[in-house]
Amino acid sequence: MLKSKTQPLIRRHLDLNLKISRLKTTANKDINIDEFKSRLESGPQLSQFISGSVGSDDKWSDYSGKLRREKGDNERLRLPPWLKREIPVGHNYHRLKESLRSLGLNTVCEEAKCPNIGECWGGGQHRTSTATI
């Protein structure tokens, strides 16, 4: 009996929270919707991607190094510049790493050799570090 009376209230509460969260996320956007729509409409179409006729502004085509090994080539390839990441450093990063070592724990980030570990462990402006153990 109580369950049937509270369900509509719970639904209304959840709907209200959803509407509020949508308002919060759209209020924080600095982009003009009309400008964004016009950029999307003037951009490449799906058929252009499928045919491979879409040009790229990336500098990967200017890269003079090898991107794949030739058959029989045993030389180690160097990472292209767009894949290189800075070595993680910082007080928060080292503090979290020392805490994990003292507890004898490893993280998914370390095991997977995640290139973004410094961003997660270093924390942002609010100094919140994240790690998956």
Alpha helices in the chain (DSSP H): 2-27, 33-42, 46-51, 91-103, 108-111, 117-122
In this prediction, residue 103 carries a pLDDT of 93
Per-residue pLDDT tens, the chain, 133 aa: give them: 455 565 666 666 556 555 555 544 544 455 678 888 888 888 888 888 788 776 665 566 677 777 788 888 888 888 887 778 788 888 888 888 899 999 999 888 888 888 888 878 876 666 677 777 7
CB 123 within 8 A of CB 92: yes
In this prediction, residue 104 carries a pLDDT of 92
Residue ranges of the domains in the chain? Answer: 85-126
How large is the greatest C-alpha to C-alpha distance in the chain, in angstroms? 75
Cα(51)–Cα(9) distance, rounded to whole angstroms?
52
CA dist 95 → 20, 92, 107, 130 (Å): 37, 5, 14, 12
- CA angle at 119 for the pair 90 and 91, rounded to the nearest 5°: 15
Q: In angstroms, how far is the first alpha carbon of the chain from the final one?
A: 43
Residues, the chain, total? 133
